[in-house]
Amino acid sequence: MSQPPPGLPFYPLANPKGVEYSCEICSKPAYLQCSLCRVTYYCGTEHQKIDWVGIHEKICADLMSLRKPAPFIVSTDERKKKKEEIQDKNVDMVSLTQLIGQKLLFQGKPEEAVPAALQCLKFTADAYGLASVELVSPYLILAESSIGLGRLNQAETYLAQAQWTILKTQHECSNGIRSQLHRKLGLLYAAKGDYELALESLAKDIFYASCEYGTDHIRTAGGYFQMAEVFYAMHQRDKNNENLINQELSDKPSTYVYPSVTPRSLGVVSTGKTHGSFLCEEAAKHDVNLSKNSDFSVQMPMSKAQLLMIYMHALLIYGLRIWVNWLKVCCINQ
């Protein structure tokens, strides 16, 4: 891990009137300045290090050219050309920061993915505007990073902003983006322990992904894996609850039922043995014995825990089959 260059002390009271510089990560007043580009500010060395490792090391020189004051240009054609160059640069930075943010999330580094997602959000707003569907992707990266860091309220805020952006741009929003939104909502609900809502969101994720890419596409497989994890979490929750109930019952003192207060059930004969304990025997036996090999064999109904495990295994197998087929296609194409 490379270390950031020493920061330059920065004093907010020395700012020109009406000009405020804030931290790149938390938006608090800045007290430190990057000594290389001198256009990026931080509240302290900790946030400077996080930003440097996450994204700033890769875009420091580009920020210098994008954030420095634009020179005065007399010619209209030159101004137009300069504006187009800045626009193209912003679009390139959107792709770069989004790719780095997703890569860091895939590597299991949510804290380092936050600076990349914040920069992606800023460049997207500059390139496409504040009412564009392209803003959804950085919001989703920020939401997933917040979920990974355990900041569920912050993740919910980012997802609400993504939902509002999709609502404003319904006709421009693809099913692929809707799929990603519902997948992140499923992750959020699962982290909160609301598994029913998580399953509902993941079902919508699979639906939109199937509409966009097909049911057997690798992008759809992620929803199956996430849904299987939710079923497994539900199984573990029910199992823990059952263990707690059994423990509570075992801790209670045993009670005895005496013959005088025991009602007789129709068709059941109770024979007293010792001090109020009974052995209940059926008075009437069925004439027809149903064997396991018979067509009329009686099977015990499955428990909820068994059903959850069956669902989980089915989803995992289906998702793995999609991955195997995709890998086969990749090997053939190579």
* Domain boundary residue, one of 69, 85, 101: 69
* Domain boundary residue, one of 123, 150, 173: 173
- Pair 162, 96 in one domain: yes
- Domain assignment present for residue 143? The answer is yes
Lowest average pLDDT, out of 41-45, 116-120, 159-163, 247-251, goes to: 247-251
Alpha-carbon distances of 262 from 135, 138, 254, 283, 326, rounded to whole Å: 71, 69, 16, 17, 66
- Domain assignment present for residue 229? The answer is no
- Give me the CATH number covering residue 94: 1.25.40.10
Contact criterion met (CB below 8 Å) for 132 and 120:
no
Mean pLDDT of 174-182: 95
pLDDT at residue 137, as a whole number: 95
Contact criterion met (CB below 8 Å) for 134 and 128:
yes
| 242-272: pLDDT as tens digits | 878 877 777 766 554 444 444 444 444 444 4
- Domain assignment present for residue 291? The answer is no
23, pLDDT greater than 60: yes
Alpha-carbon distances of 132 from 9, 180, 280, rounded to whole Å: 37, 17, 73
- Pair 97, 158 in one domain: yes
Residue 70, number of CB atoms within 10 A of its CB: 9
CA distance 54 to 142: 13
Alpha-carbon distances of 173 from 2, 142, 188, rounded to whole Å: 39, 19, 22
* Domain boundary residue, one of 14, 42, 69: 69
Residue numbers of the domain that contains 85: 77-173
Mean pLDDT of 64-74: 80
Residue 267, number of CB atoms within 10 A of its CB: 8
The two three-digit tokens of residue 63, written as one number: 């920020």
- Pair 118, 59 in one domain: no
| 121-163: pLDDT as tens digits | 999 999 999 889 999 999 999 999 999 999 999 999 999 999 9
Band of the pLDDT at 280, cuts 50, 70, 90? very low
CA distance 217 to 206: 11
- Domain assignment present for residue 167? The answer is yes
Lowest average pLDDT, out of 8-17, 81-90, 141-150, goes to: 8-17
pLDDT at residue 247, as a whole number: 79
Lowest average pLDDT, out of 70-74, 176-180, 286-290, 308-312, goes to: 286-290
| 196-240: pLDDT as tens digits | 999 999 999 999 999 999 988 889 998 989 999 999 998 888 888
CA distance 123 to 115: 12
Q: How many residues does the chain have?
A: 334
Alpha-carbon distances of 311 from 207, 222, 314, 318, rounded to whole Å: 17, 16, 5, 11
Question: Average per-residue pLDDT in the chain?
Answer: 82
pLDDT at residue 295, as a whole number: 52
283, pLDDT greater than 70: no
CA distance 141 to 154: 12
Cα dihedral: 69, 72, 78, 82 (round 10): 10
CA distance 132 to 271: 80
CA distance 101 to 201: 23
- Domain assignment present for residue 124? The answer is yes
Contact criterion met (CB below 8 Å) for 179 and 141:
no
Band of the pLDDT at 279, cuts 50, 70, 90? very low
- Domain assignment present for residue 132? The answer is yes
Mean pLDDT of 79-97: 91
282, pLDDT greater than 50: no
DSSP H/E element including 188? helix 175-192
Nearest to 134 by CA among 97, 99, 173, 104: 173
Nearest to 279 by CA among 269, 288, 287: 269
